[in-house]
Structure formats: C-alpha cells, structure tokens
Amino acid sequence: MGISYKESVVKKIESFEAGTVFIANDFLEIAGYERIRNILNRLVKDGTIHRILNGVYYQPKYSELIDEYVAPNVHQVALAIARKYNWTITPSENTALNILGLSTQVPAKWVYLSDGRYVTYSFGGIDIEFKRRSNAEISNMSTITSMVIQAIKAIGKDRISEEQIDILKKRLSGEEKKALLREGKTATAWIYEILRKIGEEDE
C-alpha cells in the first residue's frame, strides 16, 4: 500500500533544512492545493510546523545556544510570499546591503521592489514591505544582479569602497559575475562601471 498524502508531505518537510520557509505550492507534485493546505494546517495544529503568515509556514529550527526556536529568515519569508503570488521581487537598497553582508545593521523594515501589489506583511515584530515597480525594472535580470544594483544605489556613487567591492567579488560565484556583467548593461553608466569591477577576474 502506498504512503498517504500527509506522509509524503511530512517526508518532504523532513528533507528540508531546519528553518526552511515554504508554501502549499511547494508540494503540488504530491496533491492538489486544497488538500496540501489542509494537511499543512493539520501539521500546524500538531506543532510539527509553524505558521508565519496566512499560507506561509516554516520548519522550526531549535538553537541549543539560546535554548529556544530561531525566528524564520526574513528574506526566505519574502521569497515565499513572492512564490505564493507569483511576483518577481528584489531586495531594495538597505535590505540588499544587509543580505549581501555589506551592512550589519538590521533594517527597521525589510523593503522589496515587486511587480505585484503594494503591501506590507508583519510577523514577530518584523515588517516586510513590497513596493510596486514596473516589471521592466526588475524582471530582466537575476535576483543577485538586481540586488547588487540596489546595494550600490544605497551606498552611492562616490561612497562605495574598494573593500565593499572586494566583499561582493568574494561573495559572487563565477556564473553570477558573468550574469552581473551581462544583465547589468541596462543600469546607469556609473553603476555598470562598479559592476564591471565586481565582475572582472583577478589577475
């Protein structure tokens, strides 16, 4: 006898890294949306998973160090919301700085540019704001390219340092650098000059 839909969902969740954020759509290869949603809601009641927002869940990650469950990763929550509504998003300026490791300051509000509606979601004292932008502004490049561009804008033309450029060079893979140079050609000239420095290969 084959395993049940619930067992299949639980098995997939157990394969996730602890702390992973997910939505019902991530399980549609197992069953239909309503069945999956009902299973996830039962798992919330059982305490197997936690609900962050309506339709957004995560597998709790326990920290021995602080002796409590760790809050879900905010960027993962934003990506899950985008998947739920089929939006294209990219972290906006200060949010991009934090995610890329260019700033240790946690944003008071996590802001994303989106081709979806203008809306703010709140959970656990955290606000995620989606600001609507034209699709052309954010959809013709990878998330990493658009995020780097947003971070550069936040720093400013005359304030970006060689140290910050070096951080980005080390953070991006070879393929991401190629995409940066290819996709960033539509950016302002001064921004593309910085992208070129990030994307160039070391001697």
pLDDT on residue 79: 96
Determine the length of the chain.
Answer: 203
Mean pLDDT of 195-200: 92
CA 94: distance to chain centroid? 14
The SS3 of residue 92 is coil
Q: Are 51 and 111 part of one and the same domain? A: no
Nearest to 169 by CA among 201, 137, 125: 201
Mean pLDDT of 49-53: 95
Distance CA(63)–CA(66), nearest Å, equals 6
Residue 188 lies in a domain: yes
Average of per-residue pLDDT values in the chain: 91
For residue 203, pLDDT over 50 is answered with: no
Q: Are 104 and 155 part of one and the same domain? A: yes
Q: What is the pLDDT of residues 60-99, one digit of tens each?
A: 887 777 778 888 999 999 999 999 999 999 999 899 999 9
pLDDT on residue 136: 59
Residue 134 lies in a domain: yes
What's this model's pTM, rounded to 2 decimal places? 0.86
**Of the residues 36, 61, 86, the one at which a domain ends:** 61
Q: Are 163 and 118 part of one and the same domain? A: yes
Total structural domains within the chain: 2
Per-residue pLDDT band for 104 (boundaries 50, 70, 90) equals confident
Name the residue with tokens 């593309």.
192
Q: Are 117 and 162 part of one and the same domain? A: yes
Q: Are 51 and 92 part of one and the same domain? A: no
Q: What percent of the chain has pLDDT over 90?
A: 75
Query: What CATH number is attached to the domain comprising 49?
Result: 1.10.10.10
Q: Are 92 and 49 part of one and the same domain? A: no
pLDDT on residue 1: 39
For residue 100, pLDDT over 90 is answered with: yes
**Of the residues 35, 61, 87, the one at which a domain ends:** 61
Distance CA(46)–CA(56), nearest Å, equals 16
Distance CA(151)–CA(88), nearest Å, equals 18
Q: Are 173 and 113 part of one and the same domain? A: yes
Q: Are 92 and 123 part of one and the same domain? A: yes
Residue 135 lies in a domain: yes
Residue 141 lies in a domain: yes
Domain of residue 184, residue span:
74-199
Q: Are 31 and 114 part of one and the same domain? A: no
User: Is residue 133 within 8 Å of 114, Cβ to Cβ?
Assistant: yes
Distance CA(97)–CA(103), nearest Å, equals 5
Q: Are 38 and 88 part of one and the same domain? A: no
Q: Are 168 and 137 part of one and the same domain? A: yes
Q: What is the pLDDT of residues 182-194, one digit of tens each?
A: 999 888 999 999 9
Residue 68 lies in a domain: no
Q: Are 89 and 170 part of one and the same domain? A: yes
pLDDT on residue 36: 97
Q: What is the pLDDT of residues 122-179, one digit of tens each?
A: 999 999 999 998 765 666 788 899 999 999 999 998 899 999 999 999 999 999 999 9
Nearest to 144 by CA among 156, 136, 152, 133: 152
Residue 66 lies in a domain: no
User: Is residue 38 within 8 Å of 81, Cβ to Cβ?
Assistant: no
Amino acid at 181: L
Mean pLDDT of 41-63: 92
Cα separations (Å) of 17 from 45, 70, 123? 21, 13, 21
pLDDT on residue 67: 79
The SS3 of residue 63 is strand
Say which range, 48-52, 114-118, 134-138, 196-200, has the weakest mean pLDDT: 134-138
Residue 80 lies in a domain: yes
Residue 67 lies in a domain: no
User: Is residue 130 within 8 Å of 118, Cβ to Cβ?
Assistant: yes
